[in-house]
Amino acid sequence: MAKDAILDGVFAINKPVGVSSAQVIRDCQTQFNPSAFFAPMISHEKEKRMAEGSKAFNRRSRNKKELRVKMGHGGTLDPLASGVLILGVGSGTKSLQSFLDCTKTYETVVVFGASTDTYDRVGRILTRRDYSHITKNMVLEAMESFRGRIKQVPPLYSALKMEGKPLYEYAREGKPIPREIPTREVEVQSLELVDWYDPGSHRHFWPTEEADDVERQFAEKVWKQQETSKSMTPEEEKEEAEALAAHEAVKRKFESDVDGLVKDRPPSKRQKKANKPQPKADSSAGPMMSGALGQTPSVDNSKKGSNLIPPTDPDASAPWDGPGPPAAKIRMTVTSGFYVRSFCHDLGAKVNSAAMMAELCRSRQGDFEVGGPTCMEYSDVEKGEDVWAPKVAAMLAHWAQRGNAPADAAPLVVDPVQVASEAVADEAKASNGHEPASVRPPPDAETVPQSVEPEAAVQTSAANGAGAATLEVPTKKEDDEVSWNGFQD
């Protein structure tokens, strides 16, 4: 590899629990921006801008501190979840769209006996049900009904809208929803019970906070409706697709402005005025529901997307008397649009009890897999350029070579010093190694690729040369990403 080569493409990182997807990008950029590895990319863009004329360059300079390596991710991974987060760098961000329609493999831990408003362990308790009758064989039998193509109802407090209003707003206001929540068709390609935890043998506890009476009543009404829920009509499918697109547009705006919050120098007088602290949010307004958009975090915290999930207290007392409920670790491979939270909740109902998601790991997305040669450990990023640079180089080299291969090509044989892996060919039909054919997301796409690309960013197009660098600059805006589960980033 030439010393001054400009490298871009797609790779994956193993995101830990408690860190948002946008925070992973910020942490990567903290290492990538000043590195020798990405210096050719930065230098190339500087030269290009200066060649445009000093007036245009100086005008841009007023809106930036420094050029930054452009990055994005191929689908938000919730702070509660760990696992594969696909990242694009430079012109590789153009390929992120192609990862929407690929299959994903998840491992989740389901704990029985209670349900929450967010269908997971960080929500508030809605119901408690008897669990003394639940056995391993009963759960295995119930799992059979989730195989293949199934109808699934989105989580109670998802960001989906009905008549232009998110479901969680109906719940917060104590208003009935206009009609029952329609089901969505998804596919479970494989489903297996990995581990069974007998009562008293695990520490997957329920949360201790309780939902209020209004929320409980709302949930009971919705669940009764779901017993006779119907599939979406074409009109409802269109409405849901538009609602999802609108919600994702808001998420993209939050993420596109994210680097305006991370300053390397004191802000200007104008920025200080714009960044004037706002009154603190009233905590009595209620909890952050799944899919809700919360308050903008403080602008002076570059780690605002970290530590979003409270750690498990090893000394905490169990929230039940006796040995408690059983739990199960389940692995599944599913298509786009599948809600793991809904699966956990519905599995509890199938065994005549209740359940919630306690843990979630996305172990595979497309051909990117935790522990594989194209998925780097998050901890490697902070170990410095000597550690991450060879790994990123190998992963980007793999991306470039698989991109030039036909979709049905055999596994590539790559220089072992760089990388040794199978071709990643199913998720992006690349024509030149960097820009795959456009892939339209299905109406039930669960996320869209997020590109941390402020409005002031300047991209070099493919017309300027294969592998041309695309970088970003920070803006003055204060918005930020909020995850699908409503956690502030």
Catalytic sites, residue numbers: 78
Structure tokens at 206: 């329920």
Contact 139, 376 (CB under 8 A): no
Structure tokens at 363: 């172990």
Structure tokens at 189: 């390609």
Contact 308, 297 (CB under 8 A): no
DSSP string covering 66-132, please? S-EE-EEESS---TTEEEEEEEEEGGGGGGGGGGTTS-EEEEEEEEESEEETTSBTTS-EEEE---T
Contact 432, 399 (CB under 8 A): no
Q: Residue 183: count other Cβ atoms within 10 Å of its Cβ.
A: 16
Angstrom distance (rounded) from CA 156 to CA 289: 9
Collect all residues with Cβ–Cβ distance below 8 Å to 165 and sequence separation of at least 6: none
Angstrom distance (rounded) from CA 183 to CA 149: 12
Which contiguous run of DSSP H or E holds residue 242?
helix 234-256
In 3D, which of 61, 70, 89, 22 has the Cα closest to residue 459? Answer: 70
Q: How many residues in total does the chain contain? A: 489
Strand partners, 83: 15, 362
Which contiguous run of DSSP H or E holds residue 327?
strand 327-334
* Helix, strand, coil % in the chain, rounded to nearest 5: 30, 20, 50
In 3D, which of 33, 58, 477, 442 has the Cα closest to residue 252? Answer: 477
Residue 392 in 3-state DSSP?
helix
User: What would you report as the CA-atom Rg of the chain, rounded to the nearest whole angstrom?
Assistant: 23
